Each structure stands twice: as C-alpha cells, then as structure tokens.
C-alpha cells in the first residue's frame, strides 16, 4: 500500500498515512485535532520518463537521444560528487562534467562558466578572479 502525506489545515503538521489507492483518510490531526487534507508536494520525474521528441513529425520517441541525456546526467552527477569531495561547490549538477574537464580554476567551477579566449587573457582573468574571490 502507498504512503500518502496529509497536512493539518490548522497547525500545518504533516502526517504520513498508509492506505490503498481507492481509500480516503478522514482522521484528524494528532497534535491539534484539526482537519487534515492530502498534501501534494513536489513531484520529481526522471529524465527517462520524459523522453525527447522524435524527428519524425513528433510521432516517434527519440530513445537514442533520451539515453544520451541519461548518460550525460550520470557523468555530470559523478563529476559533481568528485568536485564536492574536493571541497569545491559547483553551480549545479548539469554541466559539471564539462566544467570539471575544461575549468582552469575553482572559481570557474563554482560559477559554472569556463573562461575562454587566448591563453594570456585566460590567465589574466584567472588572476583577477583569484584576487577578488581568493581565500
């Protein structure tokens, strides 16, 4: 049986209630005896559940594109965890693998932006960032 979250309308306390799909819960709040209602919080959907659109008039699902996105997401998560274990906080999970490979400083990783341009310009930008944001 699934577990549903019910929230008290009076005090806001959440309750986890186990019941069947076709059942309802008519109980009251354990803390204040107030009215409880089913709470629908954030719903997380895996990328594999939302495949990319196909190139054939939108009628077919592009499974290869979906699997490529999943692989990229796995690489990003691994890179994100590695960077965090080194004490560097990436801007986000998406793109962490690219930033890990191409960033020249921890500031680039933290901002999620890889500095581009000629080598002398990149070194100058890194020195400036280190001066401004350095430890």
| Same domain for 115 and 72 | yes
| Same domain for 25 and 87 | no
What does the pLDDT look like over 34-83, one tens digit per residue? 999 998 876 666 666 665 555 555 566 677 777 888 888 899 999 889 88
Query: What is the per-residue pLDDT for 39?
Result: 87
pTM of the predicted model, to two decimals?
A: 0.45
Query: How much is the average pLDDT of 113-132?
Result: 75
Instruction: Report the greatest alpha carbon distance in the chain.
Output: 69
Domain total for the chain? 2
DSSP structure string for 110-129:
HHT----S-HHHHHHHHHHH
| Same domain for 61 and 12 | no
What angle (nearest 5°) sits at the alpha carbon of residue 88, between those of residues 82 and 91? 95
Rounded Cα–Cα distance for residues 121 and 124 (Å): 5
Which residues form the domain of 20? 3-38
| Same domain for 65 and 121 | yes
| Same domain for 56 and 94 | yes
| Same domain for 70 and 19 | no
| Same domain for 74 and 119 | yes
| Same domain for 112 and 63 | yes
| Same domain for 123 and 58 | yes
């Amino acid at each position: 049986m699934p577990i549903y979250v019910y929230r008290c309308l009076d005090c806001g306390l959440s309750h986890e209630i186990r019941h069947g799909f076709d059942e309802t819960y008519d109980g009251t709040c354990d803390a204040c005896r107030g009215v409880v209602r089913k709470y629908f919080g954030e719903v997380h959907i895996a990328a594999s559940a939302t495949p990319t659109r196909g190139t054939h008039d939108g009628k077919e699902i592009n499974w290869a594109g979906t699997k490529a996105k999943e692989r990229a997401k796995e690489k990003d998560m691994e890179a994100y965890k590695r960077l965090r274990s080194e004490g560097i906080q990436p801007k986000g999970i998406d793109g962490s693998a690219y930033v890990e490979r191409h960033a020249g400083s921890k500031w680039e990783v933290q901002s999620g932006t890889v500095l581009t341009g000629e080598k002398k310009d990149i070194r100058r930008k890194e020195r400036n960032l280190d001066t401004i944001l350095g430890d």
